[in-house]
């Protein structure tokens, strides 16, 4: 049981770290979208990229939080 608990904690940490990387990658894309004089095509490409990165960020964050809760639950229900 202990091995499984460690896996949840490790997996949660990896997903949450990746969420942070994706969140940081969003900042320059959002800043680029605010620049004046973007063509419609450039604006659309940046918007698609922003949406894709944001969806990936949300998925990683949600998965990391779920794994963290499962690990904490496993700690409470583990037989000692």
pLDDT of 27-76, one tens digit each?
999 999 999 999 999 999 999 999 999 999 999 999 999 999 998 887 67
Return mean pLDDT, the chain. Answer: 90
Cβ(79)–Cβ(1) below 8 Å: yes
> In residues, how long is the chain?
80
What pLDDT score was predicted for residue 20? 98
Does the structure show a pLDDT above 60 at 4? no
Which residues in 36-68 are b (16+ Cβ under 10 Å) and which e?
eeeeeeeeeebeebbeebbebbeebbebbeebb
Give the whole-number percent of the chain exceeding pLDDT 90: 75
What pLDDT score was predicted for residue 78? 63
Instruction: Give one word for 37, left, alpha or beta, with left for phi > 0 and alpha for psi -120 to 50.
Output: left
């Amino acid at each position: 049981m202990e091995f499984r608990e460690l896996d949840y904690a490790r997996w949660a940490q990896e997903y949450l770290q990746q969420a942070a990387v994706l969140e940081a990658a969003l900042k320059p894309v959002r800043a680029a979208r605010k620049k004046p004089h973007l063509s419609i095509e450039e604006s659309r490409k940046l918007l698609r990229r922003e949406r894709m990165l944001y969806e990936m960020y949300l998925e990683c964050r949600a998965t990391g939080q779920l794994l963290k809760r499962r690990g904490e639950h496993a700690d409470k229900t583990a037989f000692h």
